[in-house]
A = this chain, B = another copy of it.
Amino acid sequence: MPANTTDIHLYLEKIGKLTDVLLDRYLPPEDSEPSSLHRAMRYSVLAGGKRLRPILAYSSYEYCGGNVDGEDLPIHFAMAALEMVHTYSLIHDDLPCMDDDDLRRGIPTCHKKFGEAVAVLAGDALHDIAFNLVAATGYIKAVTELARALGTEGMIGGQMADVEAEGRAITKNDIVRIHQRKTGALIRCSVRIGAILADAPASRLDNLTVFGEKIGLAFQIIDDILDIEGDQALLGKTVGSDSKKEKATYPRAVGMEQAHIDAASLIEEATAIFDPFEDNVLKHLAGYIGQRRN
C-alpha cells in the first residue's frame, strides 16, 4: 500500500490500467452484432476518465483483506460494472433533453458522435451489462446494493432533483440531498461493494459506508468548484456549463469560500474513521479526492 503522495498516483495508475483491461475484456467486441451499438458503448466507456469508482471498490476490497490474485475475480466484475453504470449515467445525462452537453472526457459526447437513438440504447445496454457482471460475482447482496444506489432513492432520484432545481433558488440542505444521491450514492456503493465481496464484517462495512458517504459528497462539491475554477483542458469537459444552465451547485448555495472549507472538512471526517497512525490506501484516496484538479 502506498505510503506517500507519489505512491498514490502510481496506485491510481495501476488500478486505473487494470480497470481499462477489465472493461475491454467485458464489453462486447465491436465486430459482434449489433456492432454500431457496441462501437458506441466502447467509445464512451474506453474514452478514459479517472476510474474512481472501480478504484474505490478495489481498494476497499483490498483493505478488507479480499484476495486479489487471479483473473476474472468477483471484484473484477464489480469494478467493470461500476464504471459501466457510471458511463451509462453520463451518456443519458449528456442527452439534449437533459444537460445537452457536447464534450465529455475530452471527446464529443455519445449522442454527438452516434446520434440520440444510439446514445439512449448504449446507455441502456451498459446499465444492463453492469447487472449481468454484478450477478456474475455470485453475491446477490452486491446486485441489491447496485440497484439501490442507482434507483430513485439514489442516482436517478438525484438526477431528477438536479433537473428540477435548475434556475431555482436552493438551500444548502437541498444541494446536499441532490449530491448525496446523484453522485454520492454510487461512490458509497463502490466502497461498500468492495467490502461486501471481501466478506467484511458488519462493523467494518458500517465504517466504510460513512467513509464512502463523506468522500462522495466531497467529490461532488469539488466537481462544482472545478466547474468554476477548473482547467478545461485537464477536465475534458466544458468549464462554466453549470452556471450557464443555472444548475444547482454547492458554491451557488453556500458561496465559494465555504464550499472549499466544507469539502476539506468532509475529507478530514472521512479519514477520521481510520486509526490516526494507520497508513492505508483509502486514506490516500480521500486525500487525492480533496486535492484533485480534474
Q: Chain A: residues with CB nearer than 8 A to chain B?
A: 28, 33-34, 36-38, 41, 92, 95, 97-98, 115-118, 120-121, 123-125, 127-129, 131-132, 135-136, 138, 140, 143-144, 146-148, 150-152, 156-157, 159-161, 163-164
Q: Is the CB–CB distance between A124 and B127 below 8 Å? A: yes
A interface SS class: helix
5 tightest Cβ-Cβ pairs between the two chains A and B: A97-B116, A132-B147, A135-B143, A34-B160, A37-B160
Q: Other than A34-B157, A124-B124, A125-B156, give 16 A-B pairs with Cβ distance below 8 A.
A: A34-B152, A37-B152, A92-B120, A95-B120, A97-B116, A97-B117, A97-B120, A121-B159, A124-B156, A125-B152, A128-B150, A129-B147, A131-B147, A132-B147, A136-B144, A143-B143
Residues of B within 8 A of A143 (CB): 131, 135, 140, 143
Chain B residues with CB under 8 A of A151: 125, 128-129, 132
- Is the Cβ of B132 less than 8 Å from the Cβ of A37? no
22 pairs, A vs B, C-beta closer than 8 Å: A33-B157, A34-B161, A37-B152, A37-B157, A37-B160, A92-B120, A92-B121, A95-B120, A121-B159, A121-B160, A123-B124, A125-B151, A125-B152, A125-B156, A125-B157, A127-B127, A127-B128, A128-B156, A129-B152, A131-B147, A140-B140, A143-B143
Chain B residues whose CB sits within 8 angstroms of the CB of A41 once the complex forms: 152
**Do the beta carbons of A132 and B144 come within 8 Å of each other?**
yes
| A152 in complex: contacting residue of B28, B135, B150, CB < 8 Å | B28
Given contacts A140-B143, A143-B140, contact A163 B117 (CB under 8 A): yes
Q: How far is the CA of A132 from the CA of B143 in the complex (A)?
A: 7
CA–CA, A193 and B127, complex, Å: 20
A33 and B160 CA atoms in complex are apart in Å by 10
Contact of A34 among B117, B123, B164 (CB under 8 A): B164
Check if A92 sits within 8 Å of B124, measured CB to CB.
Answer: yes
